[in-house]
Structure 1
Amino acid sequence: MTKKPNRSNIIFTALITGICLLTDSMFYIALPLYFKEAGLSSLIEAGVLLSVNRFIRIPLNPFAALLVKTLKLQHALLLAILLTFLTNIGFFSLNGFLCWFILRCIWGFAWALLRLSGQLLVVQLSSESNKGKFMGIYNGTYRLGSLAGMIFGGLLCYQIGMKLTCLVFAAACLLSVPLVFLLTPALLRPREEKSEKIEKVDFSKRTIRLSLLRGLIAAFLLQGVFASTVSYYLTRHYGMHVSIADGFILASGAASGLLLGLRWTWEPFLAPFIGHVSDGVLGRHPLLFIALLMTGCLFPLINCQLPFFIWASIIVLLLICSTIITTLTDVLVSDAASAMKQKTAIITKYSMAADLGAALGPLSAFLVIEKGTTFLYFCSGLSLFLAWVSNKEYRKSEGDREYMRKEEQTA
């Protein structure tokens, strides 16, 4: 396979994933504000719904991995699209916590199919020289769906309501079906051969343990706590309508959607760039250390009463750090998976760790969100701890490389 077909297949798979993500991304903006429209009675129920789709993926990820290994890539993606379409129809037509709880569980399984298919495809089609760049292309492209979901979802919810927005996004899911048939037929089985011996994850390996820890903490902070609470804090500080400039007022849901959606405007460009830079002599860890350090310093400021543009600038800086951290944690686990005979095992465990973190984030946040900034200081500490771990790992790897150079010179 040449580099160009590899790139195009990754982009098509990422676009399918992005279209399926529309409603899920919209919920992070809309559900904390419009939870009563879904028949919910409290913010805690909204937090549970934002978490359950990730909790359910923890036991279902091995089953999703089995399907991804067994089915053709085309069939796995079509199944995910069908499930996404049906859940959107359900969100439109059904009310109440129990119904939405079940629908979010179904969506969680659909997302597991999408994410595992995409990550395994990147691992299969990339080499050591372009793994970071290809992972950045995949992440940056599929998050265009998050951009559309947050920006247009926030605007549509204010104009036509959250349930009708789900119906619009259900129709959008059908647009992803033709993309499935643009994939190169030779790539429709991104899996290990059946003759290969099944290999379990070796948790004694330091790189694997650290990959899972990074996935857990990064997802908890960024996909869980941060993404689900921005609209809440914006409304808490500035009300249901935000004065952007003289005479220009925007609904808080639309404003938070625009803010969070900014990340997905630069993600298709910044993520591949970060991945490409990390493929070079600088490596992964110095960039990751800086981004985690900044995140730890900025996190408590989310709950500070500041002029809107200063507060919004802090959110934008955190979003830039999110792009860097997410891209590099995904690349680092790909590095670890590349050294294994059967790559599905480590990718599946990593997805489970990330799902657990992202699931605990909204649930934890909405349980204590009204009790002040203490929880955000805890999140800040987690980020600084991860920065320390990354710096320690970098120094150890540099020490190992220096030792090898000396050994070669001696020889």
Structure 2
Amino acid sequence: MPIYYEQFGLTALWQIGLLLSINRLIRLPINPFVAWFYRRYSLRTGLFIATTLATLTTFSYGVATSFIVLVIARMLWGVAWSFLRMGGFLTIIKVSTNENRGNHIGLYNGLWGMAGLVGMLAGGFLADQIPIVMMTSLFALLALICIPLIAFTVPHSNVDHRTTAKAMSPTFQFTPYISLILVTSLFKGFLIMGLFASTLSPLIESRMQEPMTIASLMIGAATIAGIVQAIRWCWDPFLAPLIGRWSDRLEKRYTLLFVPLIAGGVLLVVVGFTESSLLLIGLLLLFQLTSTMLTTTVDTLAASAAANTDEIKMTMWHTILDDLGAAVGPLSSFLLLTWLEGSLSILYVGSGVLMLGYAVIWGSYYYKSKRKTTHANAA
């Protein structure tokens, strides 16, 4: 859309910005409604609604001739995404156990990332080859094909197979453990989907003296940033399930958080002081590894907590805070850059220190929990 915006009937750059952000902003107020819906209706019904909306909105991108119509379509796509995101998360909670939940979450996140990469590459290629209306119609057709697949693969009943156990489990409460998971969800969305994704290109550009040349091809900062992101999406379907299975073997899953929080924090601090563009790219790829681990672990913790309490309310809060972090991350990053007079080094060092701070907070919780368990056993 940023390149072919005139083919969508747009006339100003601010319209592009609004269209690219409105679908994310609408998810913040709509998530509680989606949670209410899934409490009363089946997962299959919610996924039917999501896929139908995705089909209609994708098709409308190519045929709409009004900016207002495109805004409405993007808002409806945000609604569809909320149904898909929460529905997928709830499905994993229902079909998984404590012994395989991490593996399922890792596979879910990995396939989501791979699908995003394929969609981005296919969309970019097709936009150069065929008219926009034909491209959007093709993607709408693919979404339409998924509707009968839902009927065959997703059960109609929304009754949990652990109904008896769930009836005896406590209702949702903001306990210290759950609150810490949710605050970490907010931080994860803010850092990875917000700050890092929005400042990656400027960071690489600030360290490059001139564009790289490979086989007579000029490669700039935007291309390198895209490659760094794409590499992660390629390895996620394979690496994320491995990380999930690792967490499945741990007695306390949250102890796995120390690896990405400490390693990621140190890497961001080093990135802030790195001047070599080649070294920077290597460090960024290592940070992407920690991002995969952080995302998989936090989502698994949220799913495990949801399975032991009110799963819909826990999923709702996890989704809201994750989306909120991703929504305010880019804005906060550039506001901070304005205040810091454009110093990306300070921004990344500060982000690294913040990651290390989260490691300290989780470490404090671990030692308090361990001490409480020791005293209980002694009694």
State if a TM-score over 0.5 links the two structures: yes
Distance 1:242 1:78, change over 3 A: farther
Q: Who is 1:76 aligned against?
A: 46
Q: Alpha-carbon deviation of 1:124?
A: 1.9
Distance 1:57 1:345, change over 3 A: same
Q: Who is 1:55 aligned against?
A: 25
Distance 1:66 1:191, change over 3 A: farther
**1:29-64 deviation digits (Å, cap 9, x = unpaired):** x64x6666652634x655544433222112111211
CA contact (8 A) 1:51 1:362 kept: no
Correspondence 1:338 to 2:307? yes
Q: Alpha-carbon deviation of 1:274?
A: 0.9
Number of residues paired by the alignment?
Answer: 374
Stretches of structure 1 lacking an aligned partner (at least 5 in a row): 1-29
Please state whether the residue corresponding to 2:153 is helix, strand or coil: coil
Q: Who is 1:358 aligned against?
A: 326
Q: Who is 1:14 aligned against?
A: none
Q: Who is 1:23 aligned against?
A: none
CA contact (8 A) 1:140 1:271 kept: yes
Q: Who is 1:148 aligned against?
A: 118
**1:218-246 deviation digits (Å, cap 9, x = unpaired):** 1012112333444566678779x965512
Q: CA RMSD in A?
A: 3.9
1:274 pairs with one of 229, 243, 250: 243
Q: Alpha-carbon deviation of 1:382?
A: 4.3
Correspondence 1:214 to 2:173? no
Greater gyration radius: 2
Q: State how far apart, in whole Å, the 2-side matches of 1:162 and 1:232 are.
A: 30
CA contact (8 A) 1:299 1:377 kept: no
Correspondence 1:396 to 2:355? no
Q: State how far apart, in whole Å, the 1-side matches of 2:51 and 2:221 are.
A: 31
Q: Within 5 Å, which residues of 2 pair with 1:214-293? A: 214-230=184-200, 243=212, 245-249=214-218, 256-281=225-250, 283-293=252-262
Q: State how far apart, in whole Å, the 1-side matches of 2:242 and 2:367 are.
A: 23
More off after superposition, 103-112 vs 365-374: 365-374
Please state whether the residue corresponding to 1:181 is helix, strand or coil: helix
Distance 1:346 1:379, change over 3 A: farther
More off after superposition, 87-96 vs 205-214: 87-96
Q: Alpha-carbon deviation of 1:138?
A: 1.7
Q: Output the amino acid matched with 1:217.
A: F
**1:77-134 deviation digits (Å, cap 9, x = unpaired):** 1211111122222322336764443322211111111111111122222222222122
CA contact (8 A) 1:53 1:359 kept: no
CA contact (8 A) 1:284 1:332 kept: yes
More off after superposition, 33-42 vs 74-83: 33-42
Q: Output the amino acid matched with 2:12.
A: S
Q: State how far apart, in whole Å, the 2-side matches of 1:59 and 1:190 are.
A: 27
Q: Alpha-carbon deviation of 1:267?
A: 0.9
Distance 1:135 1:221, change over 3 A: same
Distance 1:357 1:396, change over 3 A: closer
Q: Output the amino acid matched with 2:113.
A: R
Distance 1:37 1:295, change over 3 A: farther
Distance 1:373 1:68, change over 3 A: same
Distance 1:192 1:126, change over 3 A: closer
Q: State how far apart, in whole Å, the 1-side matches of 2:132 and 2:256 are.
A: 38
Q: State how far apart, in whole Å, the 2-side matches of 1:306 and 1:187 are.
A: 56
CA contact (8 A) 1:52 1:101 kept: yes
Normalising by structure 2, report the TM-score. 0.80
Q: State how far apart, in whole Å, the 1-side matches of 2:137 and 2:208 are.
A: 30
CA contact (8 A) 1:277 1:283 kept: no
Please state whether the residue corresponding to 1:129 is helix, strand or coil: coil
Identity of aligned residues (%): 29
CA contact (8 A) 1:216 1:356 kept: yes
2:295 pairs with one of 326, 335, 346: 326
**1:312-365 deviation digits (Å, cap 9, x = unpaired):** 43442232222111111111112322331x211111011111111111123444
Normalising by structure 1, report the TM-score. 0.75
Q: Output the amino acid matched with 2:292.
A: T
Q: Who is 2:353 aligned against?
A: 384
Stretches of structure 2 lacking an aligned partner (at least 5 in a row): none
Q: Alpha-carbon deviation of 1:181?
A: 3.2
Q: State how far apart, in whole Å, the 1-side matches of 2:63 and 2:266 are.
A: 43
Distance 1:385 1:299, change over 3 A: closer
Q: Output the amino acid matched with 1:129.
A: E
Q: Output the amino acid matched with 1:64.
A: V
Q: Who is 1:16 aligned against?
A: none
Q: Output the amino acid matched with 1:350.
A: H
Distance 1:353 1:113, change over 3 A: same
